[in-house]
Amino acid sequence: MKIIIMNGNKDKWYSSKVGKVYKVQEIRDKSYVTKDGVIRKEDTEVIEK
C-alpha cells in the first residue's frame, strides 16, 4: 500500500515531507510504519492499495 502525506505538524519528523509518497510496511491502529518512520493515519491519504 502507498500513502501520501497530506498534513505535517511541525512537531513531527515528516513536517517537511508533505506531498511525498511512502510505501507502508506495517499498519497499526492509528498510524502507518514506513521505512523512514511512523506516520499518523490522520495526516495521510491512501493512494494505492
Model confidence pLDDT, tens digit, residues 5-48: 999 888 999 999 999 999 999 999 999 999 999 999 999 999 99
Q: What is the pLDDT of residue 28?
A: 98
Its pTM surpasses 0.75: yes
Alpha helix ranges (H) inside 1-49: none
Q: What is the pLDDT of residue 9?
A: 85
Q: What is the pLDDT of residue 12?
A: 93
Which of these, 18, 15, 16, 13, lies nearest to 36 by C-alpha position? 13
C-alpha–C-alpha distance, residues 47 and 22, integer Å = 10
Q: What is the pLDDT of residue 7?
A: 94
Q: Is 36 helix (H, G, I), strand (E, B) or coil?
A: coil
